[in-house]
Amino acid sequence: MENEKKFGTKQIAITAVLLAICIISQVFKNLSVFITGPIINACIALAVLMVNLPCGIILSIITPITAYFIAASPIMSAVPAMILFIMLGNIVLAVMTYVLIKKPLKSAGGNLFTVPNIIKAVIASLAKGVFMGLTISLWLLPTFIPVDSPLRGRLPIFQRTFSLYQFLTACIGFAYVFIIYAALRKSETNFQKSDS
């Protein structure tokens, strides 16, 4: 949608709007991971598709920090190193979006809603879920939650949240991306037609 080389006021504005959406959604983080998660994932993917990979990475890094300050969960307070691995999981999603979807999108004439792209979105979501599952669920949490901590009894829930739920929320986020991106492309095309 945007020229990858070009980075000006419009691109900064798009990134800032996506960051604002992420921050607003984090107010609802403690209600359900299925509210905030898809919105954050959608914003990261949209930043990559509409601006560039560095902007997607910036959102990937900032959103776990803002989540910690806006609505820190007990598990994040107990194991703060999780923030780094959440950032890395988000970066995995951003890079996979760039490699699997954005690069081929240029040669496909900008049509995002295709069966191959849906499959690639599922693969990108799976990559994030697997990365976070291996690093957070299987290593970090069992290693760093003290045995006598009351959080230890909720370990299976946390492990699901940082593996399977990461995959599912990324898939839902991509569903949002497909809808939003198609609508933006259509409005951009209509604007260009009316302008000419």
User: What residues does each domain of the chain span?
Assistant: 9-195
Report H helices in the chain: 9-25, 33-50, 53-71, 74-78, 82-96, 103-107, 115-132, 141-144, 155-161, 164-195
pLDDT tops 60 at residue 111: yes
The closest of 75, 72, 86 to 146, measured between CA atoms, is: 75
Contact between 44 and 59 under an 8 Å Cβ cutoff? The reply is yes
pLDDT tops 90 at residue 142: yes
Q: What is the DSSP string of 133-152?
A: IIIIIIIIHHHHS-TTSGGG
Average pLDDT of the residues in 80-106: 92
- The pLDDT of residue 107 is 63
- The pLDDT of residue 186 is 75
pLDDT tops 80 at residue 6: no
Rounded distance, CA 77 to CA 143, Å? 15
- The pLDDT of residue 73 is 82
pLDDT tops 60 at residue 101: yes
Angle between helices 115-132 and 33-50 (to 10 degrees): 120
Contact between 45 and 105 under an 8 Å Cβ cutoff? The reply is no
The closest of 113, 19, 6, 32 to 58, measured between CA atoms, is: 19
Q: What percent of the chain has pLDDT over 90?
A: 65
Average pLDDT of the residues in 100-107: 79
Q: What percent of the chain has pLDDT over 70?
A: 89
Q: Encoding tokens for residue 104?
A: 């081929």
Q: What is the pLDDT of residues 43-85, one digit of tens each?
A: 999 999 999 999 999 999 999 999 999 887 888 888 999 999 9
CB atoms < 10 A from the CB of 90, how many? 26
Average pLDDT of the residues in 16-37: 90
Average pLDDT of the residues in 79-96: 96
Residue with the larger pLDDT of the pair 91 and 33: 91
CATH topology of domain 9-195: Arp2/3 complex 21 kDa subunit ARPC3 (1.10.1760)
- The pLDDT of residue 58 is 95
Residue 44 is given by DSSP the state H
Q: What is the pLDDT of residues 150-169, one digit of tens each?
A: 999 999 999 999 999 999 99
CA dihedral 23, 165, 132, 112 (to 10 degrees): -70
pLDDT tops 70 at residue 7: no
Average pLDDT of the residues in 33-41: 94
